Amino acid sequence: MAGRYYTIDGKKLPSVTSILNVINKPQLIPWAVRTTRDYIKQELFAFKRADSFKELDLDNLLANSAKEHDNVRTAAADRGIAVHSSIASYIGNKSSVAQNDPVIIAFRTWQQAAQFEPIASERLVLSREHGYAETVDLIGS
């Protein structure tokens, strides 16, 4: 299995994320189709507004539309990484992040509403019995 592994006591254990990658995610296909369709629609609308389809390069339009779901997924992943990093920094050292950061404000609002108290952040957890490991983002009560 390709993916990320942790070496624990000389033994390679797959990450939970790698294990979950083998699960079929049928909802992603309709999402990718919608994303592609929306991209094509947006591009065609721009040509219609310009009142000229003469400049339309259909091959390029289709090639770019086929990549659009990757672009959207990458942008969402990048945003998720940034949010994760901000919250991890806040948990580790509250003074290391801007208190007016919308991510931190939203996290503190949730934390207060949930009465959540962090215990650990970025902690390795594993199961020798089941043969997997992962780094947990946040543990609390």
Is the pLDDT assigned to residue 84 strictly greater than 70? yes
Least confident of 18-22, 44-48, 59-63, 81-85: 44-48
Residue 24 is predicted with a pLDDT of 86
Residue 126 is predicted with a pLDDT of 94
Q: Is the CB of residue 61 less than 8 Å from the CB of residue 67? A: no
Q: Is the CB of residue 63 less than 8 Å from the CB of residue 95? A: no
Summarised one tens digit per residue, pLDDT across range 100-124 is: 999 999 999 999 999 999 998 889 9
CA 42 – CA 35 distance, rounded (Å): 11
Residue 34 is predicted with a pLDDT of 94
Q: In degrees to the nearest 10, what's the CA dihedral of 124, 12, 76, 116?
A: -20
Q: Is the dihedral of CA 115, 118, 124, 127 positive or negative?
A: negative
Higher pLDDT, 96 or 37: 37
**Cβ neighbours, 10 Å, residue 26:** 6
Token digits of residue 118: 């962090």
Is the pLDDT assigned to residue 1 strictly greater than 80? no
Confidence grade of residue 53 (pLDDT, cut at 50, 70, 90): confident
Q: Is the CB of residue 140 less than 8 Å from the CB of residue 118? A: yes
Q: Is the CB of residue 40 less than 8 Å from the CB of residue 3? A: no
